[in-house]
């Protein structure tokens, strides 16, 4: 925020509000830690008084009551410390996984809002390809078979294997599945989506989702 105010990217009101919020959070955290430490000292003092008053049943009852009250106070202050630490963590936004950032919707100095996406994150560590094979090509195809994936953009062939075979043809998943209501049936070879996973390879980091891939699955 100091760099932004120096470049007149944000208003002085936004800068002062951010500084005040940060100082308030840290002050709250320090106060909660101090109160928790004081409460722990009170617990130790109450326990020593309890030991000294073991000969007097009434004093024991009173001391136990004080110790229980002090313990409850410690628990309350510890909860306040955890809440302050949690509030401090909210000042940092972390991505759920490693990937490539794209479609950025925010700019430096912009105030983020809950529920508004900042950017799109593309995970390139888990890549697969969906190959639409003809139904006549699936007779000898099984899950686990080796596959070859030729990426046109890199002009290189990668190794992979069949992960799963679709539960229905691509036409069944379309928005308007074709219906033969007239009775004039024309046989059309259907295509079934087959998921192919890439085997581990350092060059996979160069592949981007949406690239064209030619898949070959040897079945003989």
**pLDDT for 63 beyond 80:** no
- DSSP-derived secondary structure for 88-150: HHTTS---SS--EEES----TTPPP-TT----EEE--SS-EEEEEEEGGG-TT--TT-EEEEE
Where exactly are the structural domains of the chain? Answer: 2-102, 128-216
Homologous superfamily of 128-216 = Efflux pump adaptor protein, beta barrel domain (2.40.30.170)
Output 55 or 155, whichever has higher pLDDT: 155
What is the percent of the chain with per-residue pLDDT over 90, rounded to a whole number? 26
**pLDDT, tens only, 197-215:** 999 988 888 888 889 999 9
Token duo for residue 167: 């539960």
pTM of the model: 0.52
How confident is the model over 6-17, as a mean pLDDT? 81
| pLDDT on residue 11 | 81
Residue pair 203/154 in contact by the 8 Å Cβ criterion: yes
Q: Interior CA angle at 138 toward 137 and 141, to 5°?
A: 115
**pLDDT, tens only, 134-192:** 999 999 999 999 999 999 999 999 999 999 998 888 777 776 666 655 666 677 888 89
Residues with Cβ within 8 Å of 47's Cβ and at least 6 positions away in sequence, in order, are 67
**pLDDT, tens only, 66-117:** 888 888 899 999 999 999 998 888 878 788 888 888 888 888 888 878 788 8
Report the alpha-carbon distance of residue 22 to residue 31 in Å, rounded: 14
Number of neighbouring beta carbons within 10 Å of residue 217: 21
Report the alpha-carbon distance of residue 148 to residue 165 in Å, rounded: 16
């Amino acid at each position: 925020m100091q760099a932004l105010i120096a470049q007149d990217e944000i208003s002085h009101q936004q800068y002062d509000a951010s500084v005040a919020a940060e100082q308030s959070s840290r002050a709250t955290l320090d106060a909660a830690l101090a109160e928790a430490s004081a409460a722990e000292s009170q617990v130790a003092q109450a326990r020593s008084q309890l030991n000294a008053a073991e000969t007097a049943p009434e004093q024991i009852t009173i001391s136990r009551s004080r110790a229980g009250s002090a313990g409850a106070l410690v628990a309350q202050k510890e909860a306040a410390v955890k809440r302050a630490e949690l509030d401090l963590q909210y000042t940092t936004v972390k991505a759920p996984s490693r990937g490539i950032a794209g479609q950025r919707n925010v700019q430096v100095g912009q105030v983020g809002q809950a529920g508004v996406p900042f950017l799109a994150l593309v995970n390139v560590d888990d890549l697969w390809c969906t190959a639409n094979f003809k139904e006549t090509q699936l007779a000898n195809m099984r899950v686990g078979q080796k596959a070859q994936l030729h990426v046109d953009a890199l002009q290189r062939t990668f190794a992979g294997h069949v992960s799963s075979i679709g539960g229905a043809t691509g036409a069944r998943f379309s928005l308007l599945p074709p219906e033969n209501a007239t009775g004039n049936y024309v046989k059309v070879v259907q295509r079934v989506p087959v998921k192919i996973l890439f085997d581990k390879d350092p060059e996979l980091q160069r592949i981007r989702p949406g690239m064209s891939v030619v898949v070959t699955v040897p079945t003989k």
